[in-house]
Amino acid sequence: MQTKAILSKDFILVAIGQVISLFGNQILRYALPLYLLNQTGSSVLFGTILACSFIPMLFLFPIGGIIADRVNKRNIMVMFDINAKRINRESHFLCYVYLYVYESSWTVPLWYCV
């Protein structure tokens, strides 16, 4: 009975979607600080942004494990995807603000960050 549920088409599609989503999030977590390093040349900024991107994982993974044991998995996945998109959008916006304020030659329309 359990193997039948794991091999169902719906589960496989959801699992593949989650793998792609997590892969994209990890690429963004590394690419955004790398982009700032490329634009500013500041290795301190690169290291700070990269380190700060791991802080939420350190604090939220244990809490997430407790919640995952008690709440419906589908609802957790939906809320995770919504929050991941919000956080990605906010990090894009903060990088835009940083480059706009501190790099006077950097002019890119704000809608590129959305």
Whether the pLDDT of residue 41 is over 60: the answer is: yes
Q: Which of 31, 27, 12, 22 is nearest to 81 (CA)?
A: 22
Those residues with Cβ within 8 angstroms of residue 62's Cβ, 6 or more apart along the chain or in another chain: none
C-alpha of 81 from chain center: 9
Whether the pLDDT of residue 90 is over 60: the answer is: yes
Local confidence band at 113 (pLDDT 50, 70, 90 cut-offs): low
Reported as a single tens digit per residue, the pLDDT across 9-37 is 887 888 888 888 888 878 877 887 888 88
Q: Which of 48, 49, 35, 58 is nearest to 106 (CA)?
A: 35
Contact 96, 110 (CB under 8 A): yes
Residue 1: how many other CB atoms lie within 10 Å: 4
Q: What does residue 104 show for φ and ψ, rounded to 5 degrees?
A: -70, -25
Spatial distance between the Cα atoms of 87 and 17, rounded to a whole number of angstroms: 19
C-alpha of 83 from chain center: 9
Spatial distance between the Cα atoms of 98 and 6, rounded to a whole number of angstroms: 45
Reported as a single tens digit per residue, the pLDDT across 68-78 is 888 887 888 78
